[in-house]
Structure 1
Amino acid sequence: MFYGIGKGTSYAGRPKLRPSLSLGQSSQKMNCKVLMATTTLPWASIPGSSRFPKLQNDSCPRTFRVLCSSSSPELPLTGKLENNSLMTGGAYDFENATTSLTQKLMSSPKKVTLIRHGLSSWNEESRIQGSSNLSILTEIGVMQAERCRKALADMDFDQCFSSPISRAKSTAEVIWQGREEPLVFLNSLEEAHLFYLEGMKNVDARQRYPQEYTTWREDPSNFSVNGVYPVLKLWETASEAWKEILFTPGENFLVVTHKSMLRALICTALGLEPERYVLYLP
Structure 2
Amino acid sequence: MSNASAGSTPLSLIPVPGGPKLWLLRHGETEWSLSGQYTGLTDLALTGVGEDQARSARAALSDTAFDLVLTSPLRRARRTAELAGFPDAEVEPNAVEWDYGDYEGINSAVVRAENPGYLIWDSGVPNGEAIAQVSARADAIVDRVRAPLPDGSRAANVLLVAHGHFLRILTARWLGLEAGQGRHFVLGTAKVCTLGWDKLTPAVEQWGL
Q: Same fold (TM over 0.5)?
A: yes
Superposition deviation, residue 255 in structure 1: 0.8
Partner Cα distance (1:222, 1:119) in 2: 26
Among 91, 98, 120, which residue is 2:30 paired with? 120
Partner Cα distance (1:245, 1:280) in 2: 20
Q: How does 1:122-201 map to 2 (within 5 A)?
A: 122-133=32-43, 135-177=44-86, 182-201=88-107
Superposition deviation, residue 175 in structure 1: 1.4
Give the alignment's Cα RMSD to 1 decimal: 2.8
Among 167, 173, 195, which residue is 1:268 paired with? 173
Partner of 1:23: none
Among 21, 24, 37, which residue is 1:111 paired with? 21
SS of 2:66's partner is: coil
Partner Cα distance (2:184, 2:97) in 1: 13
Kept after mapping to 2: 8 A contact 1:221/1:277: no
Partner Cα distance (1:144, 1:277) in 2: 23
List alignment gaps of at least 5 residues for structure 1.
1-81, 94-108
Partner of 2:190: none
Sort the Cα spacing of 1:85 and 1:248 in 2 relative to 1 into closer, same or farther, 3 A: closer
TM-score normalised by structure 2 residue count: 0.70
Task: Pick 1 or 2: higher relative contact order, CA cutoff 8 A, min separation 6.
Answer: 2
Partner Cα distance (1:203, 1:273) in 2: 25
Structure (1/2) with the larger helix percentage: 2
Partner of 1:106: none
Q: Does 1:216 align with 2:116?
A: no
Superposition deviation, residue 216 in structure 1: 3.3
Sort the Cα spacing of 1:268 and 1:170 in 2 relative to 1 into closer, same or farther, 3 A: same
Match of 1:215, as an amino acid? Answer: Y
Superposition deviation, residue 223 in structure 1: 1.9
Q: Deviations over 1:57-102 (max 9, x none)?
A: xxxxxxxxxxxxxxxxxxxxxxxxx94259xxxx976xxxxxxxxx
SS of 1:215's partner is: coil
TM-score normalised by structure 1 residue count: 0.53
Match of 2:104, as an amino acid? Answer: E
Partner Cα distance (1:275, 1:205) in 2: 19
SS of 2:171's partner is: helix
Match of 2:24, as an amino acid? Answer: L
